Amino acid sequence: MTGRDGGADIGPIGEFDPVVILVRPQLGENIGTTARAMANGGLFHLRLVAPRDGWPQERAWSASSGAHRILDAATVYPTVDEAVADLHHVFATCPRPRHIIKPIMTARGAASELRVHAMRGLRCGLLFGPERAGLDNEDMARADTLIRYPLNPDFMSLNLAQAVLVMAYEWFLTEDTTLPRELMTNETQIATKGDLENFMTHLLRELDDSGFLHNEQKRPGMVRNLRHFFTRGEVTEQELRTLHGVVSELVRARKAGRTPKP
Amino acid sequence: MTGRDGGADIGPIGEFDPVVILVRPQLGENIGTTARAMANGGLFHLRLVAPRDGWPQERAWSASSGAHRILDAATVYPTVDEAVADLHHVFATCPRPRHIIKPIMTARGAASELRVHAMRGLRCGLLFGPERAGLDNEDMARADTLIRYPLNPDFMSLNLAQAVLVMAYEWFLTEDTTLPRELMTNETQIATKGDLENFMTHLLRELDDSGFLHNEQKRPGMVRNLRHFFTRGEVTEQELRTLHGVVSELVRARKAGRTPKP
Q: How far is B1 from chain A (nearest CA, A)?
A: 11
Q: What is the pLDDT of residue A251?
A: 87
Q: Is the pLDDT of residue B58 over 80?
A: yes
**Res. A187: pLDDT tops 90:** no
Nearest CA in chain A to B236: A101
Q: Residue range A191-209: average pLDDT?
A: 91
Query: What was the pLDDT predicted at A71?
Result: 98
Number of CB atoms found within 10 A of residue B136's CB: 13
A19-173 CATH fold: Alpha/beta knot (3.40.1280)
Residue A101 to residue B66, Cβ atoms within 8 A: no
Q: Pick A184's closest partner by Cβ from B65, B104, B156.
A: B104
pLDDT at A2: 34
Report the relative pairing of strands B145-147 and B45-49 from DSSP bridges. Answer: unpaired
Average pLDDT over residues A228-235: 83
| pLDDT surpassing 90 at residue B250 | no
Reply yes or no on whether the pLDDT at B169 is more than 90.
yes
Average pLDDT of the segment spanning A73-81: 97
Read off the pLDDT of each residue in B207-226 and give the average, rounded to a whole number.
90
- B103 pLDDT above the threshold of 90: no
- Closest residue in B to A238 (Cα) is B101
Helix/strand/coil for A157: coil
Asked if residue B29 lies in contact with residue B60, where contact means CB atoms within 8 angstroms, the answer is: yes
Nearest residue to B52 (alpha-carbon basis) of B146, B160, B147, B166: B160
Share of chain B above pLDDT 90, in %: 59
| Residue B3 reports pLDDT greater than 60 | no
- Mean of the per-residue pLDDT values for chain A? 89
Per-domain residue ranges for chain B?
19-173, 193-255
| Facing B152 at nearest CB: one of A161, A172, A182 | A172
Pairwise CB contact (< 8 Å): B40 & A112: no
Band the pLDDT of B4: cuts 50, 70, 90: very low
Query: The domain B193-255: what is its CATH number?
Result: 1.10.8
| Best residue in B10, B135, B147, B152 for a mutation probing chain A (most A CBs within 10 Å) | B152
Average pLDDT over residues B103-119: 94
Question: Bigger pLDDT: B205 or B94?
Answer: B205
CA–CA gap between residue A47 and residue A83 (Å, rounded): 7
- Determine whether B156 is exposed, middle or buried from the number of CB atoms within 10 Å of its CB (0-12, 13-18, 19+): middle
Please tell me the predicted confidence (pLDDT) of residue A261.
47
Q: b/e string for A38-66 if b means 16 or more Cβ within 10 A?
A: bbbbbbbbbbbbbbeeebebeebbebbbb
In this predicted model, what pLDDT tens digit does every residue of B176-211 receive, in sequence order?
888 888 877 667 788 888 899 999 999 999 999 988
For residues A123-138, give the mean pLDDT.
Answer: 92
Q: Note the pLDDT of residue B188.
A: 79
How far is the C-alpha of A103 from the C-alpha of A90, rounded, in Å?
Answer: 12
**Cβ of residue A132 closer than 8 Å to a chain B Cβ:** no
How far is A214 from chain B, CA to nearest CA, in Å? 34
B146/A contact by beta carbon, under 8 A: yes
Chain B CB contacts of A157 under 8 Å are 36, 39-40, 65-66
Phi/psi zone of residue B203: left (φ > 0), alpha (ψ -120 to 50 degrees), beta?
alpha
Contacting residues for A177 by C-beta, under 8 A, at least 6 apart:
none
Query: What is the signed CA dihedral for A127, A128, A129, A134, rounded to 10 degrees?
Result: 110
Q: Do B155 and A236 touch (CB under 8 A)?
A: no
Contact A138, B220 (CB under 8 A): no
Q: Are B37 and B164 in contact (CB under 8 A)?
A: yes
Predicted confidence (pLDDT) at residue B119 exceeds the cutoff of 80: yes
Separation between Cα atoms, residue B245 and residue A9, nearest integer Å? 56
CB B199 within 8 A of CB B230: yes
C-alpha distances out from residue A103 to A106, A126, A137, Å: 10, 15, 15
Peptide bond into B56 cis (omega under 30): yes
My answer on whether omega of the bond before A220 falls inside 30° of 0, hence cis, is no
- Closest residue in chain B to residue A147, using alpha carbons only: B181
Which ranges in chain A belong to alpha helices (H)? 28-40, 58-62, 68-72, 80-84, 107-119, 137-140, 160-173, 193-210, 219-232, 237-255
Question: Residues with Cβ < 8 Å from B91, sequence gap 6 or more?
Answer: B18, B105, B110, B113, B114, B124, B125, B126, B127, B143, B144, B145, B146, B147
Q: Per-residue pLDDT tens for A46-71? A: 999 999 999 999 999 999 999 999 99
Give the residue with greater pLDDT, A250 vs B78: B78
Average pLDDT of B119-133?
93
- The residues in A 181-200 lying below 8 A from B, measured between CB atoms, are 181-186, 188
pLDDT at A109: 95
Those of residues 33-92 in A touching chain B at CB distance below 8 A are 36-37, 39-42, 65-67
Span A71-75, average pLDDT: 98
